[in-house]
Amino acid sequence: DLMEHVIKPVVPAKYLDDKTIFHLNPSGRFVIGGPHGDAGLTGRKIIIDTYGGWGAHGGGAFSGKDPTKVDRSGAYIARQAAKSVVASGLAKRCLVQVSYSIAVAEPLSVFVDTYGTGTMPDAEILKLIRKHFDFRPGLIGKNLDLKRGGNKRYQKTAAYGHFGRDDPDFTWETVKKLE
């Protein structure tokens, strides 16, 4: 049992109470790996697929993963939210960071940093983002129509990356007015 043999011996008791949330293998026993779980070609162009080293990156690759994987869909919705903040005149720069756990629909956290360029506190911008965007993986796919056109749609991302393109297939580049 992970709780008895790992967590309790390692984590001081003062950090464990009835409000502590544990995600211990929430999807059950993990037995599918390798080519059966992913294409096996992920991670070949992690940085160039996104911001080329300019922006923060969590380390998850896109290429080789279908849009149900939050490495890809989470980055897409975070991109759309950050672009919408800037396009709505709420900040000159914006980072939206999302953190997920396997088999947990709601993100563990959504964080906003406008690098001091916001017209209101980042906490207020975060409230607007949470009002206009649903960060649950299933709804990201639905709202951005990520399965439309199958995998051929994503072939375009192999050259020139996933972001900053004016292409109707790149639905995450469409901004929403945040008010």
Architecture of domain 44-173: 2-Layer Sandwich (3.30)
Checking if the pLDDT of 81 tops 60, the result is yes
pLDDT band at 157 (very low <50, low <70, confident <90, very high): confident
Cβ contacts of residue 133 below 8 Å, gap of 6+?
A: 77, 80, 81, 84, 176
Show me where the domains of the chain are located. 44-173
pLDDT at position 43 is 60
pLDDT digits (tens, 9 = 90+) for 13-57: 999 999 998 888 887 777 776 666 655 555 656 655 666 566 676
Residue with tokens 């950050």: 82
Sign of CA pseudo-dihedral 172, 174, 175, 176: negative
Per cent of the chain over pLDDT 90 is: 55
Checking if the pLDDT of 68 tops 90, the result is no
Determine the average pLDDT of the residues in 1-24.
90
Determine the average pLDDT of the residues in 56-72.
76
Q: Which region among 32-36, 69-73, 74-78, 146-150 has the lowest average model confidence (pLDDT)?
A: 32-36
Checking if the pLDDT of 62 tops 80, the result is no
Contact 40, 66 (CB under 8 A): no
* Token reading at 73: 């869909």
Give the C-alpha separation, 175 to 79, whole Å: 9
Average per-residue pLDDT in the chain?
Answer: 86
